[in-house]
Amino acid sequence: MATSRPATAIAPGAGYQTKIGAASLAVGPLLMAVGDLLHPKESADLGRQAAIIAEQPTRWYLAHLLLFLGLVVVVPGLLTLTGLAAARRPRAGYLARVLLVVGVAGSGAIFVAEMLVGRFGSLGAAATEELLDTMFSGPIAGPMIPVAAAFFVGATVGAVALIAGSGPLRWPALALLAGTLLILAEIISSQVLLSQVGNLLVWGGGVGIAWLLVRGEVGAPAGARAGKALPAG
């Protein structure tokens, strides 16, 4: 008896797309959490910040390298996450996906710029401060910051869509939301401890969702199910 396509459309499954998304949700945030734990102190005063970077240029560079790599690795997980959100709240899931894709571009640009700052740190505080002044000038920060901010809006929209729905995804999504808001608070306040805790919460939420997906306790997103081979006969 042939397996019907409509039946597979609602069946949970762990096809290759789901497995990649689950691994991405577990590994990407972990890299970012390790990078943030390495992160030196921050200061809203550019002169003081330049001095901190000049004292620890390699550590600054490595921290943002890991943050950048983690952001790249988590992309399949973000697509899986927004797929789960869209299955519960289609419009919110779609909006979250668009905003997260846009936000990844802006956040990635910031991490690369911060890596460059770390390399400049070996040249001394004066050169580093000059580069920071350029980075935070209107022509550079003006377009870059709103694009990066889309990441936080998209993550919030996606997490709220998962929290609003009943089921086992609620608690991991709460961890994702709390972590995202703490990271945003760190950016505003320059208190690194906030983002360190936030990234650990995001990692915990990502691992929780990955575990649920692999165990089949939540339905895989439609695109991920489509990637699973159908049995014949």
For residue 91, what pLDDT is reported? Answer: 96
Note whether residue 180 is domain-resident: yes
pTM assigned to the model: 0.86
Q: Is position 65 within any domain?
A: yes
Residue 231 forms part of a structural domain = no
In a domain, 6, yes or no: no
User: Are 66 and 77 in contact, with CB atoms under 8 Å apart?
Assistant: no
Could you read off the pLDDT tens digit of each residue along the chain, which spans 233 residues? Answer: 444 433 333 334 468 889 999 999 999 999 999 999 999 999 999 999 999 999 999 999 999 999 999 999 999 999 999 999 999 999 999 999 999 999 999 999 999 999 999 999 888 899 999 999 999 899 999 999 999 999 999 999 999 999 997 789 999 999 999 999 999 999 999 999 999 999 999 999 999 999 999 988 776 565 554 444 434 33
Let me know if residue 122 belongs to a domain.
yes
Show the domain range for 132.
14-216
CA distance 197 to 233: 51
| Nearest Cα to Cα of residue 173 among 80, 104, 71, 107 | 80
The answer to whether the beta carbons of residues 70 and 37 sit under 8 Å apart is no
The pLDDT of residue 9? 35
Residues 109, 69 contacting (CB under 8 angstroms): no
Residue 103: how many other CB atoms lie within 10 Å = 22
Contact 106, 32 (CB under 8 A): no
Do the domain assignments include residue 192?
yes
Residue 218's pLDDT is 78
Tally of structural domains, the chain: 1
- Strands (DSSP E) along 33-150, which ranges? none
| 67 within domain boundaries | yes
For residue 210, give every residue at least 6 positions away whose Cβ sits within 8 Å of its Cβ, in sequence order, or none: 21, 22, 23, 25, 26, 77
Has residue 130 been placed in a domain? yes
Do residues 92 and 157 make contact, with C-beta atoms less than 8 angstroms apart?
A: yes
Which pLDDT score, from 0 to 100, does residue 159 have? 96
